[in-house]
Structure 1
């Protein structure tokens, strides 16, 4: 009888503990539709803070801790194994750096939710690692039950991330396990950061720019009468080779770099934090590209890879430092979004 009572007390305590938690449910299949053939998934949880967040749920705004059912490693690996049979010589490595949820109520009494999401993936063969894909961003939601909406959509974020990882081609550069685990230290060794000035030349993609390996030959930038650059030309043994600048990622002239953007070439700078443009975010995208679409992407069950800016801040029209990720060539808006307040 005593043992039975003790067991009942334990069950009651476990039930009470579970009621104060909201578990992430990783639903659906994530089959590999890409070209990579992986034997298994390895998850490295590098989050400094293992807590995902304490959020208000329901009409009574009951505070609950958002959590994986077991752990990030066990849950993600188990989810992956359900739709991916073992095969191949390589392993897929996923490094989780941040998964943080928060909620604030605005003056208009709208619930605004934010998900800080930072994940990197690599292919592993033996003790050799090669970079595949990464995403560092802030997703934002607006809904009466925003906590519930965010938790229900986390599996969509990871599902889309896996899909893009499957389709990504690994870079040729070999990394060690330490470089995989400490990505920021690794990229700081790129030539673009070590060299005092940018190397003159034409760069057709972001990888060649950050590695500072321009197209071979001495190219001269040709301009229209008003001074706008339009192509690069080199003389190769009497034969001219021409590269239209709209095909270039960056061109560097006299140590100054200019990046191809929607609104034309804009100067590239660098500091101790990285390589950046000093510009308005709105100038980097076409007018029909709505930077506020992010608040709706989860409600329809699909993910829009857009970013919602705080309507009050007008950050899309403010000149800011917009950093470029060395491993993807994408613009990094995380610092801007984290600096904004959703009060």
Structure 2
């Protein structure tokens, strides 16, 4: 009798444990529409906090922990393999830094929620790795059924991240696996823009050329209007003129001082121990965004969920909840050393 009671208690404990979890499922696919060059996907989990989060589910609002059905490596690797049946030549490695889900304030019948996400991808060749892409951001949601929406959109976040990765070419400089532990520090330590005290004058068309301090060859002269705003750069060689418009520039450096192209014009680029940064705000340096960004990835397979309709996901990156950009509030906006994208973590 005692043994039967023990077995019963164990069985009840297992059921209770299972009921206290909400399992993440695949949504859509991870196929590469432009042709797969990666034969496999491996995940290196570097999260300091392994728990994704706990949220209320169902009519009874039972608190459940959001979990993957297996290890995150097994889950994403198998999902990738199922989505890309034709194997490529290379291996892709995804380094996961952060994945956290939080509930926010409730207003009326709707509740806000955030998913913090930070990950990097690399192309693996033998024992070396080439950087592909990085995303470090917060996705925000608002819904009556916020727990369901956020849980079902976690795989969407990974799908969007990988589909962006597919479009990018790997960096030229390969690194050993040790560099993946803190790749940002590695980039800073090995970039001319960070190592040199003075920047080279000239025109830089992209982030890579600026980091390597390799401006466009030739002696370009900046042409400005009466207000001092740069319109173009002109180079004359062998009787021929070569022009670079302001819109084509990523950064120009004049007298050792850098200026970064933004939506509202060029802004002075400063540097401190953390890196390169602008003093501005999101509303000034980026185009005005709609209140929501709706993305469809594999919607035909019922893969996406959101607050509007099945098949669409309503994801807002932090800062876009209000469509009004306050230009009077300025702060340090750093330039990500790996991608050249803006870092709004100080916002």
TM-score by length of 1: 0.88
Q: Which runs of 5+ in 1 are unaligned?
A: 337-343
CA separation in 2, counterparts of 1:284 and 1:306?
18
Relative distance call for 1:27 and 1:222 in structure 2 (3 A) is: closer
Q: Kindly state the Cα deviation for residue 60 of structure 1 after the two structures are TM-superposed.
A: 3.9
Relative distance call for 1:315 and 1:286 in structure 2 (3 A) is: closer
Residue aligning to 1:293: 292
Q: Greater shift after overlay, 48-57 or 238-247?
A: 238-247
Relative distance call for 1:19 and 1:33 in structure 2 (3 A) is: same
Residue aligning to 1:284: 285
Contact persistence 1:295–1:308 (CA under 8 A):
no
**Paired residues for 1:169-188 under 5 Å:** 169-188=169-188
CA separation in 2, counterparts of 1:304 and 1:16?
33
Residue aligning to 1:309: 319
Secondary structure of the residue that 1:49 maps to in structure 2?
Answer: coil
Q: CA RMSD in A?
A: 2.6
CA separation in 2, counterparts of 1:306 and 1:254?
40
- The count of residues paired between Structure 1 and Structure 2 equals 334
Q: Kindly state the Cα deviation for residue 113 of structure 1 after the two structures are TM-superposed.
A: 0.3
CA separation in 2, counterparts of 1:248 and 1:303?
34
Contact persistence 1:44–1:96 (CA under 8 A):
yes
Secondary structure of the residue that 1:268 maps to in structure 2?
Answer: strand
Residue aligning to 1:227: 228
Of the candidates 333, 343, 347, which is equivalent to residue 322 of structure 1? 333
Residue aligning to 1:261: 262
Q: Kindly state the Cα deviation for residue 235 of structure 1 after the two structures are TM-superposed.
A: 3.5
CA separation in 2, counterparts of 1:108 and 1:274?
42
CA separation in 2, counterparts of 1:79 and 1:118?
20
Q: Greater shift after overlay, 298-307 or 172-181?
A: 298-307
Q: Kindly state the Cα deviation for residue 157 of structure 1 after the two structures are TM-superposed.
A: 1.2
Residue aligning to 2:99: 99
Q: Kindly state the Cα deviation for residue 266 of structure 1 after the two structures are TM-superposed.
A: 1.2
Relative distance call for 1:305 and 1:28 in structure 2 (3 A) is: closer
Q: Kindly state the Cα deviation for residue 267 of structure 1 after the two structures are TM-superposed.
A: 1.2
Residue aligning to 2:116: 116
Secondary structure of the residue that 1:73 maps to in structure 2?
Answer: helix
CA separation in 2, counterparts of 1:304 and 1:316?
23
Contact persistence 2:45–2:95 (CA under 8 A):
yes
Contact persistence 1:160–1:303 (CA under 8 A):
no
Q: Kindly state the Cα deviation for residue 237 of structure 1 after the two structures are TM-superposed.
A: 4.4
Q: CA offsets, 1:99-122, max 9 Å, x none? A: 000112246674210000111111
Q: Kindly state the Cα deviation for residue 55 of structure 1 after the two structures are TM-superposed.
A: 1.9
Residue aligning to 1:339: none
Q: Which runs of 5+ in 2 are unaligned?
A: 296-304
Contact persistence 1:220–1:234 (CA under 8 A):
yes
CA separation in 2, counterparts of 1:312 and 1:228?
30
**Paired residues for 1:14-93 under 5 Å:** 14-85=14-85, 87-93=87-93
Secondary structure of the residue that 1:328 maps to in structure 2?
Answer: coil
Residue aligning to 1:158: 158
Relative distance call for 1:39 and 1:3 in structure 2 (3 A) is: farther
Relative distance call for 1:121 and 1:312 in structure 2 (3 A) is: closer
Q: Kindly state the Cα deviation for residue 162 of structure 1 after the two structures are TM-superposed.
A: 1.8
Q: Greater shift after overlay, 116-125 or 7-16?
A: 7-16
TM-score by length of 2: 0.87
Q: CA offsets, 1:140-177, max 9 Å, x none? A: 11112211210011111111222112222112121211
Residue aligning to 2:302: none
